[in-house]
Structure 1
């Protein structure tokens, strides 16, 4: 299981994490990425790699 955190101050809302996530963890909420399906996270960190603003962290719990 993984804990997905999005730093709202850093998030630009470009949606790259939404596009790259294979299991639809993210949705845009008020122009920012929100991990609405955190339980689905595979821990692949594709979202971390494409996030140009370094707003996403994933921790194994």
Structure 2
């Protein structure tokens, strides 16, 4: 089962917390914002959702 990982660029402040907490390196910071560059690796743990203070990240089962 896969997951859809989305980052709302308007909400994202580019803090990098999701990059630091993700165990499978789904995120990269590009142009000052988080980008789910390796979304196919997502485990669905939602650690990124929990650390995102701007509520910019959603993870849903696909």
Q: TM-score, normalising length from structure 2?
A: 0.98
Structure 1 runs (4+) deviating above 2 angstroms are none
The alignment's C-alpha RMSD in Å is 0.2
Mark the runs of 5 or more structure 2 residues left unpaired by the alignment: none
Tell me what 1:44 maps to: 45
Q: Which residue of 2 aligns with 1:14?
A: 15
Aligned pairs, how many?
61
TM (norm. structure 1) is: 0.99
1:20 & 1:27 partners in 2: Cα distance? 12
